[in-house]
Amino acid sequence: MLQVVQLVFRHAVGVPGAQLGDALCIHGHAACIQLAGGFEVGQHAGRCSRCIGARARGAGNQVSTALGQVGALGRLVDAQRRVDAAAEGRGLGLARGIGLLVGLGAALLAAAIGIPAGLAAGYFGGWVDAAISYVINLFVAMPGLVLALIITAVIGVSLPNLILVLGMVGWPAMARLMRGQALAIREKTFVEAARVAGAGAPWILWHHVGPNVRRLGWSQLSLTIAQAIFTSSSLSFLGLGVPPPLADWGGMVRIGGDFLATDPWLAIAPSAAVAITILGFYLVGSDR
């Protein structure tokens, strides 16, 4: 009978040559088997109180290690989120600088072309007015965004080219405004008096017509900046704006659109920046 029990324990424990009472534990400790207490030999053979405590301590160490790894992973994720937030803030700041650079450069180019052309067309009239008005109508006949897309596709995508494209799109509105003002001012009495006194056209345009259209010119310049920022963002959203690695609000909105389900602020933040900036320039232009 004793041999049968030894064979059973050797099979359950898996220790060759185990003897009852000295090698029944898998760690070599004295066995604590209570068959009468409801334990099954196949499940509990070779488990003494010391082994159970060692296993519990080992499990506790594993749990502690796992919790430490989870905590380290949480700290890593939190640090990555802070880095992403800082990068997003730097990206918004850089995009703001690029957007303002493009808007201001395009507006200055539009003013440099549109103001002289409009004043000349309105003051001289005749064939000069007809020729300039014909060119203006050619540009105005096509929507600004479509015209910008065509010119960009022809000359390529770069920051200077984008400023050039937006300036070419914006100058007709400036020229039409200046032409209308010059048509009205050239009929004024002080302009007629200066002309009778022998003043030339350049002198009259500089000293009489120019100061009277300056206020509207500044307003139109502010509106042109807003329009250039909007068009630039639209082109970047379509992939034809500021090239990488330069940051642009439109490009940030396009990239953030892929993460609307998880991180919607990646698209909302640059969209809000575009809206607030354009609204600010429109308010400045309308206030003047």
Q: Look up the CATH number of the domain holding residue 264.
A: 1.10.3720.10
pLDDT at 94: 57
Residue 253 lies in a domain: yes
Residue 76 lies in a domain: no
Residue 158 lies in a domain: yes
- Indicate the pTM of the whole model: 0.64
Which domain covers residue 126, as residue numbers? 91-287
pLDDT at 245: 73
Rounded to 10°, the helix 210-237/144-155 angle is 70
Residue 82 lies in a domain: no
**Overall domain count for the chain:** 2
State which residues of the chain have pLDDT below 70: 1-96, 287-288
Residues 250 and 139 in one domain: yes
Amino acid sitting at position 187 = E
Residues 23 and 157 in one domain: no
pLDDT at 19: 40
pLDDT at 286: 78
Residues 31 and 95 in one domain: no
Residues 136 and 241 in one domain: yes
pLDDT at 23: 40
pLDDT at 68: 59
Residues 33 and 112 in one domain: no
Residues 141 and 37 in one domain: no
